Structure 1
Amino acid sequence: MASHDATATATVPEMAPVFHPIVWGDFFINYNPEPLQMSEERMTERSNQLKEKIIGLFSCGTIVEQLNLVDTLQHLSVDHHFHEKIDSTLRSAHAGEFNSSSLHHVVLRFRILRQQGFWVSPEHNTNNKLTFRWWKNLYREVGLNYSRDRVVECYFWAYTAYYEKEYTRASMILAKIIAIIIMTDDTYDVRATLVECRQWEESATSFLPEYLQKFYLKLMSTFKEFEDELKPDNKYRVAFSTKAFQILSSNYLQEAEWFHQNHKPRFNDQVKVSSVCSGGPWICVGLLVGMGDAATKEALEWALGCTDAVRACAEVTRFMNDLASLKRGKNKNDVASSVECYISEQGVASEVAIAKIGSLIEDAWKTTNQAHFELPELLLPAVQRVANITISMPFMYDNKTDAFTFSSRLEGTIKRLFVNPIKL
């Protein structure tokens, strides 16, 4: 008992803490507010007018605009005035099909419905559905029937860089960038005239044919969607991506000029331009846009500079694609490949040129590996994602085949990843 008392005594403070006196004193006892500038009846009338105006907003606009309205009313803590309208809106949002390709809109719908007690599956498959819907709308509205319809393969390609759930946003943005590269490449190679290519490069949109005007507008809209997906202090990343696209377009134009002039460039000149036209450099910049905090401004500047690992990624993509094109054939506006230019310049047989290109691919792999050891630690997360994309190239172009264009070769891999679950 003595021990128990000692312990109890030890935990009791010697004296109670001193609390400061009431801040308000008798203020509210003696307080008499000034008379209102309008009568109670007038205030009630004005309040009812505003309520009717807000109720009217529920009857117009898209489902996204209505969900934004609900979100605003909840933030202002006045949603209890509109209980019936909010309930009706949420029931419609829950029951109806939701076709937005914006991750922000999907998250808004998910959050509001969930917090109001409506069940919404957290599984996403949602991110790939958003990407597929975005492509379907773009393909239909622009009229891209001349281009390869390969959005699933684009999604798979992005997945090779970002397979973790926490990088869903980065993967979606990258998939769209890859799809835009394919679409732009096919536009230059298959559809657009040289004049149209020059007008596109000069942003002379008013002179472009209707399909290219639509393409341009959808492209600008997509870049704006990228910005909307990012936090305010990360929106600057989209400017790097836009710059990379401009560089890509300039090099596409150079290839178009060579083709229409029937000019076969020197090997080094061809590689310099066609490596950019592989889309690899923009992919390496674009994969950083939706990444987390590791995607620093320094990392974006490094990627845009197209050195070491980024250049190696572009070269592996270009050379493996060119080797595959020997089998598949070229599009009608394709410029001479690296293999053809080497044969012409060196006067060698195709077997010698193919061996040379193979050795350059090996050199590019070495550059990719060296980048992990030679670059600052700050850049290593970005380097690894670039390496992931480079490593994916054998999926697309191994054994001198173009599995991306002739995508039945990827069907089994894609099904194993996204369709058929692993049996436990």
Structure 2
Amino acid sequence: MASAAAGVPVIVVCSVEYQQQQAAVESSTSLHRRSANYQASTWDYDSICSLREEEAGESVLQLQATTLKERVRRLLLQEREDDDTAGRSRLGIIHRLQSLGIAYHFQEEIKGILLSMHRAAPSNLDDDLHSAALLFRMLRAQGIPASTDMLLVMMRAFRFREEDEVVVGSDDDDGLLALYEASYLAFPGETELEEARAFAVQSLAARGGGIAAGHLPLHWRAPRLQAMWSLHEEQAGADDDDDDILQLARVDFNLVQALHRRELAEVTRWWKESRLGERLPFARDRVVECFFCAACIAPEPHLADCREVLAKTGSLIVHLDDIYDVYGTPEELRAFTDAIATWEPPCGAGDALPEYMRTMYAAIWETSTTAADRVLSKHGCHVLPLFKKQWHELCKAFLVEARWHQRSYRPSFREYLANGWVTSTGPLLLLHALPAAGAAAVGSDGDRLLTTLVELSSTIFRLCNDCASHEAESQRGDAPSAIACCMEEAWCAGEEQARAAVQGLIADTWKVFNKEMSSSADQSMAVAADLCRNLARIIHCIYQDGDGITSPTHRMKRMVKDLLFNPVIVGTCIGNLACRQLHIVCRMQVLQDKAIY
């Protein structure tokens, strides 16, 4: 077999006679193939691959970031030592760092502050509902068990003040909003937090405010996207040049974005060289969207290997899904599943497959083998058998769904979900991401917690996907969805009730995830837990108002563009110069919607 560049699929070249025979077979079965008429990719890959970064502009931002980080660290530690700011000020700074996406620079300092406040709470919160809610949410988000008592004491005091007709102001609105957000960190059985959420919603509505329809709670939002949205919200600040936190957030966003953009260019070049988009034209070409998801699952700069394998594996999965869901014949799908089970080099495993499947198999084999070699080299962990096993598990689960469709079989909701959390593709994505991030791999010893987190995040993936795609897939006559299976249950009165039940299950799954997160104490497990959680979070985003992968909306494209191509303006002269250089490098056409898509 001819050698290939790392990460580039090996394309098997067969004899002319064999190709003619295979073409005849495919021609005879072409009438049985379906087409979903998927939206073509609207991204200009040549423009993405030609992007270059100006090192001078980026080096200026690096120096500025170093100075700003020290200033913010001093501010954080100063607030920690000052007893007069034990409540709102201290937690407000941490909340801002998290919301603006720069808390990862101060993880140890933040954890120390939260643990210190946890030991002293609630005595140091002075009946402050806002601070109590922030602390509760932050502790549980860190995997630190926090009792609901401190939150409920403050809520009861707040309710008493309202009933006593004490004048309330904006601070009280902030407290109610913080209480609402904290309620999403509930564990199973904590009904008092459901009551707290209802109280917050009702109280805000009574004041003329409220929670907007379709609002995603903070706990369900991808941190990298939240950072982008928070930056946009704070751009109008009059004194932002004196705001070190905001300045650091802007500089850091641009630096991380520049890194992600270089990585996207490399992944896009890999995709073009694989020629999968050309050889499998019936499938969705979504390499840019897959990298966008990877950048939201593993945004920190040091997780470059993780982003790369997530983006590549995700792009392959989208194509494989379309083979099983739409294009492949039953005989071809069985043959492909068997070929994956053998995991032979492409030149030996492709004889029984049609040409388009040989191309797909070669891309999977080469990409996962290269990823496994990198993990072995960097972390000393032999993960290729696990990769092979999970690819086979996914193909078997896809095959089950294909057979359900072929036989017009409608599984029970329980039967569907037992298979569906695997076909969500979450397990395969996370299995590749975790070792690349230096975290424990599913399948290793003592991984019960990690296995559980993977299953829970993949279940959320499956259910969110089905809520968004049910209508379109029903019209195409695809395999049943969670909504369709739920509608067949005896207790379900129709689609509206089925959707409500699925949404309720998503919320309940998050509660179990929250509880399991409280066991992720050591650093290695914390990294793995964050990857699992961020997968569930980005799924909420891309399926919030439709299927952002199958049919990317303008909102989806705008998010991709803002996250990966549009730097934010930095509020100093030096920062603005560096930022302008990055803008020029990205080509003004990118900012004017002309070149990239």
- What is the TM-score with the length of structure 1 in the denominator? 0.66
**Match among 261, 267, 282 for residue 131 of structure 1:** 267
Give per-residue Cα distances to partners, 1:117-162, cap 9 Å, x unaligned: xxxxx96733211211122223447612111111100001011111
**Aligned partners of 2:498 and 2:260: how far apart in 1?**
47
Q: Which is worse superposed, 197-206 or 302-311?
A: 302-311
- Asked if the contact 2:283–2:319 (Cα under 8 Å) also holds between the matched residues in 1, the reply is yes
- Asked if the contact 1:317–1:390 (Cα under 8 Å) also holds between the matched residues in 2, the reply is yes
Q: For residue 324 of structure 1, what is the amino acid of its counterpart?
A: A
**Aligned partners of 2:274 and 2:333: how far apart in 1?**
20
After TM superposition, the structure 1 = structure 2 runs for residues 402-413 of structure 1, keeping only pairs within 5 Å, are 402-408=547-553, 409-413=555-559
Q: Say which structure, 1 or 2, has more relative contact order (CA 8 Å, 6+ apart).
A: 2
- Determine the structure 2 residue equivalent to 1:191: 327
- Determine the structure 2 residue equivalent to 1:157: 293
- Determine the structure 1 residue equivalent to 2:350: 205
- Asked if the contact 1:281–1:304 (Cα under 8 Å) also holds between the matched residues in 2, the reply is no
**Match among 515, 522, 538 for residue 370 of structure 1:** 515
Q: For residue 395 of structure 1, what is the amino acid of its counterpart?
A: C
- Determine the structure 2 residue equivalent to 1:340: 484
Q: Specify whether residues 333 and 160 from structure 1 end up closer, same or farther in structure 2 by C-alpha distance, changes over 3 A only.
A: same
Q: Mind listing any 5+ residue stretches in structure 1 that lack a counterpart?
A: 1-60, 65-96, 101-121
3-state SS of paired residue (2:284):
coil
Give per-residue Cα distances to partners, 1:95-119, cap 9 Å, x unaligned: xx9xx9xxxxxxxxxxxxxxxxxxx
**Aligned partners of 2:260 and 2:547: how far apart in 1?**
30
- Determine the structure 1 residue equivalent to 2:469: 325
Give per-residue Cα distances to partners, 1:44-92, cap 9 Å, x unaligned: xxxxxxxxxxxxxxxxx9999xxxxxxxxxxxxxxxxxxxxxxxxxxxx
**Aligned partners of 1:153 and 1:314: how far apart in 2?**
19
**Match among 395, 403, 425 for residue 249 of structure 1:** 395
- Determine the structure 2 residue equivalent to 1:71: none
**Match among 559, 562, 565 for residue 416 of structure 1:** 562
**Aligned partners of 1:199 and 1:134: how far apart in 2?**
27
Highest Rg: 1 or 2? 1
Q: For residue 355 of structure 1, what is the amino acid of its counterpart?
A: A
**Residue identity (%):** 26
Q: Specify whether residues 231 and 199 from structure 1 end up closer, same or farther in structure 2 by C-alpha distance, changes over 3 A only.
A: closer
Q: Which is worse superposed, 142-151 or 190-199?
A: 142-151
Q: Specify whether residues 206 and 299 from structure 1 end up closer, same or farther in structure 2 by C-alpha distance, changes over 3 A only.
A: closer
Q: Specify whether residues 402 and 244 from structure 1 end up closer, same or farther in structure 2 by C-alpha distance, changes over 3 A only.
A: same
- Determine the structure 2 residue equivalent to 1:263: 409
- What is the TM-score with the length of structure 2 in the denominator? 0.48
**Aligned partners of 2:521 and 2:359: how far apart in 1?**
42
What root-mean-square deviation, in Å, do the aligned CA atoms of Structure 1 and Structure 2 show? Answer: 2.9
**Aligned partners of 2:4 and 2:370: how far apart in 1?**
17
**Aligned partners of 2:475 and 2:558: how far apart in 1?**
27
Q: Specify whether residues 231 and 329 from structure 1 end up closer, same or farther in structure 2 by C-alpha distance, changes over 3 A only.
A: closer
Per the TM alignment, residue 185 of structure 1 is displaced from its structure 2 partner at its CA by 0.5
Q: Specify whether residues 62 and 155 from structure 1 end up closer, same or farther in structure 2 by C-alpha distance, changes over 3 A only.
A: closer
- Asked if the contact 2:402–2:479 (Cα under 8 Å) also holds between the matched residues in 1, the reply is yes
Q: Is residue 389 from structure 1 mapped to residue 531 from structure 2 by the alignment?
A: no
Q: Is residue 356 from structure 1 mapped to residue 492 from structure 2 by the alignment?
A: no
**How many residues align structurally?**
307
- Asked if the contact 1:189–1:331 (Cα under 8 Å) also holds between the matched residues in 2, the reply is no
Q: Is residue 238 from structure 1 mapped to residue 374 from structure 2 by the alignment?
A: no
Q: For residue 230 of structure 1, what is the amino acid of its counterpart?
A: V
Q: Is residue 215 from structure 1 mapped to residue 351 from structure 2 by the alignment?
A: no
- Determine the structure 2 residue equivalent to 1:284: 430
Per the TM alignment, residue 384 of structure 1 is displaced from its structure 2 partner at its CA by 1.4
